[in-house]
A and B are shown apart, each in its own frame.
Chain A
Amino acid sequence: MSAQAQQSGGRSGTAAPAAIELRGISKAFGPVQANKNINLRVEKGTIHGIIGENGAGKSTLMSILYGFYKPDSGEILVNGLPLTITDSQTAIKAGIGMVFQHFKLVQNFTVLENIILGVEDGRLLRPSLAKARGVLKQLAEEYQLNVDPDETIEELSVGHQQRVEILKALYRQADILILDEPTGVLTPAEADHLFRILEGLRAEGKTIILITHKLREIMEITDNVSVMRRGEMVASVKTAETSPEELAELMVGRKVLLNVEKTPAQPGAAILEVRDLKLVDDEGVERLRGISFDIRAGEILGIAGVSGNGQTQLLELLGGYPEKGSKVSGSVRMNGEELDLTGTRSDAAIRRARGIGHVPEDRQVEGLIMDFTAWENVAFGYHHAPEFNKGWLMDNAAIREDAEAKIKRFDVRPPNANLAARNFSGGNQQKIVVAREIERNPDLLLIGQPTRGVDIGAIEFIHKRIVELRDAGKAVLLVSVELDEILSLSDRIAVMFDGRIMGERLPGETTTGELGLLMAGITDTENTPDSAGIPPDLKHVEDLPGGQP
């Protein structure tokens, strides 16, 4: 063992072998070189971040480590010992655990059943389940990973499901834990809790590899960070010795504007006037409790808030497709004309005809049809437009030509309109949706989570386009859970909590701390702006339920 340790070489002068060492790993999928000669050293008992844009090869590398793919060449050392990882079983035995971005849980199984799956102790379940129950209790105490072992997965929140994935790895006695984009699906509070858990794991001597494209997470929690770009490992540094700007530059290979450059807003007449909007969903839960605000031409109103506080319902309602069975009241005027919120004249097509473009929060479900081609997707929602039709028939040539032009203008990569939407990366899928909605030049753009799961290059691009639309005198309603995004894009910020707008702030005159308090439902009556946006019944905030389902 000690001889092995010497061989693997302590770069930082430590005698202990690295938890993971990769030497010259390469992997190609057909003509695409996903990993090129990767070298990586992950020290024991550290949190090691791997950062890179979508498609930089991070997930491929980790899949190799977990035995999902076989590398074309290169060597893997675990705890200083060379190891050929042919399948997940080998990786598990070597003490490697993986928490995938999309959880690998059986939805209608209990937590306990999910945990023992594949590592049962014998042919019969009862003893395994009893043992797992004991171990789980112990792990829960040790790492604050509390989950009810008898709850089924589908009843758990996403954050708790992720805990089950971590528990699964720990139950398999993983010493090295790989987390692939763990915060992509979490609310900020859940993400914070996850980080506390990871810190606890590190304190117990576990090694953690954190794959992400969020710079803030890297800076907040990692000890070391490695940067990947286009399949190559471009840098490995100590987190304390670097800065977000440096990392961002390494990731994209050029300077990025983390702050959006924009001129002060020149607001004009009110485009959208929302008054006392209320929505009760089909389960009887009040999702919107009297929302009022205006958006004027040439301004971006940002709606901040923890997800699940009514933003989704607001967007869907304005977009023309509130959830079935919802009861709606209140009024919305668009360019001075009343919108039909409930009747037969309320659907997405009619909203679009009235000049409302909508980039939905979940592009893969609401924004795109994943198996359809890019050019078809670029026409959706506007496929009745006269220029896309010849009499009764669709004019596919015209649609395709239009789509190709948009794809070119939005720098969608690869620039191939015949590819299915599924085959584009997250950022490029989003560009397709944004191109479709912005290029129609809507008077009002509703845009939800514009950059969720999108790489930095595309974020910058999408932000620029949103600002351009504003500068062209259009109104934008931006909903995002990313405070940085809200702060850098918005001309005014409204914070939603529990179906209400807790307050409005100007981005230059507020802090993340103040917004954070509002997002948590804590308000200071003295600071409440006197604008038309605030309903009068906000005084008894302490009576409001604290959390949201």
Chain B
Amino acid sequence: MDFATIIQILDSAVRLMTPLLLACLAGLYSERSGVFDIGLEGKMLMAAFTAASVAYVTGSAWLGLMAGIAGSLALSLIHGLASITFRGNQLISGVAINFLASGLTVLLGQKIFGLGGRTPALEGNARFGEITLPFADALRDVPVIGPIYAELISGHTILVYLAFAMVPLTWWVLNRTRFGLRLRAVGENPASVDTAGVSVTRLRYAAIAICGILCGIAGAYLATALSAGFVKEMTAGRGFIALAALIFAKWRPWSALGATFLFGLLEAIANRYPNLDLGIITIPSMFMNALPYILTVIILAGFVGRAIPPRAGGEPYVKER
């Protein structure tokens, strides 16, 4: 395997990890506030569909992105109503959202475009273009650093850079701001926030709104940047892999970056070498695709340090003396 191949695989890993990273951070905001969200998958799928549809109709990827965010936020709101306002079960609400998105996208797609649930292919400005960073071409021939900069770092869509920028931003918000302190507190012990005179409901809605926005960006990325249009079930379990990454990362933003990179890399390797020949044994791509889940089970079993979820996670807050 030469240097160029490694760069190519890493480049592919960066593209593939972007939706995982966005969805993982989305889940991080929601779960750190105490609202479990297994509806990441459904929200991304809905966002991919609305983004692709609007981008196709208007010819603008940016309007598509807005629509993607709106589509995902709408589902977040349903999740909030069910699990925060009406104190329903968060897992059931999440499952319902996944089913809803899965059915609704195909139904609407067929009704509007008549292509069997997919949207027409997107072209030109309806997709996010790749950005060439300054000096990328000039530096291309510098050994080692040149290809890394020109191939790996430069040449991604704006959404990839946005996703990476979200990591330090999320860390900063969580650890350095008032909102972050309250968000973490409400996920650990909502009564402490309530007795301090801060609204638990409002904080949790804010958290799931951020979750909706990030899932919306992730979905829009899938449909208008990674691919060119919406295809039925195009999220293909990425929402669940993002959840696995969230557990793997123990609900921390920098670790989320590492976890999603690892999972993106596994996917990139599986794509490039469907049957990875290691000389002694041949690893089928199915195994690589299953690895994120296997790793998560290992984490949950406590082999790599304990993953402690936010203490109040999964439970609606009921005021008690």
Contact = CB atoms under 8 A, between A and B. Distances in A.
Interface string B193-218: 11111100000000000000000000
A126 B182 CA distance: 14
Contacts of B197: 87-92, 118
A423 B235 CA distance: 46
A100 B185 CA distance: 17
Contact of B184 (A92, A100, A106): A106
A109 B191 CA distance: 14
B173 to A, nearest CB: 10
B177 A125 contact: yes
Contact of A104 (B175, B180, B191): B191
Contacts of B321: 59-60, 63, 68, 100
Contacts of B192: 104-106, 114, 117
Given A88-B196, A106-B192, A119-B196, A68 B179 contact: no
A70 to B, nearest CB: 12
A108 B196 CA distance: 17
Contact of A107 (B175, B178, B189, B194): B189
A116 interface: yes
A125 B181 CA distance: 8
A237 B45 CA distance: 68
Nearest to B182: A117
B178 A124 contact: yes
B178 A122 contact: yes
A216 interface: no
Q: Is the interface of B mostly helix, strand, loop or mixed?
A: helix
Given A68-B321, A104-B191, A105-B189, A124 B196 contact: no
Interface string A457-487: 0000000000000000000000000000000
Nearest to A172: B196
B182 to A, nearest CB: 7
Chain A contact patch, size range: 20 to 34
Nearest to A67: B197
A59 B321 CA distance: 8
A125 B178 contact: yes
Contacts of A107: 188-189, 311
Contacts of B182: 117-118
Contact of A113 (B179, B181, B191): B181
B195 A123 contact: no
Contact of A123 (B175, B179, B191, B193): B179
A117 to B, nearest CB: 5
Contacts of A87: 197
Nearest to B195: A104
Nearest to B188: A106
Contact of B196 (A90, A117, A126, A128): A117
B189 to A, nearest CB: 5
A98 interface: yes
Contacts of A273: none
Interface string B143-178: 000000000000000000000000000000001111
Contacts of B180: 125
A105 B194 CA distance: 11
A100 B181 contact: no
A117 B185 CA distance: 8
A223 interface: no
A118 B196 CA distance: 5
Interface in A116-157: 116-120, 122-126, 128
28 contacts: A66-B195, A68-B321, A88-B194, A88-B197, A89-B198, A90-B197, A91-B197, A100-B321, A104-B189, A104-B192, A106-B188, A106-B189, A107-B189, A109-B185, A114-B192, A116-B181, A117-B192, A117-B193, A118-B197, A120-B178, A123-B177, A123-B178, A124-B178, A125-B175, A125-B176, A125-B177, A125-B178, A125-B180
Given A116-B181, A117-B185, 9 more contacts: A68-B319, A68-B321, A98-B195, A106-B192, A117-B198, A118-B198, A119-B196, A124-B177, A125-B178
Interface of A: 59-60, 63, 66, 68, 87-92, 98, 100, 104-109, 113-114, 116-120, 122-126, 128
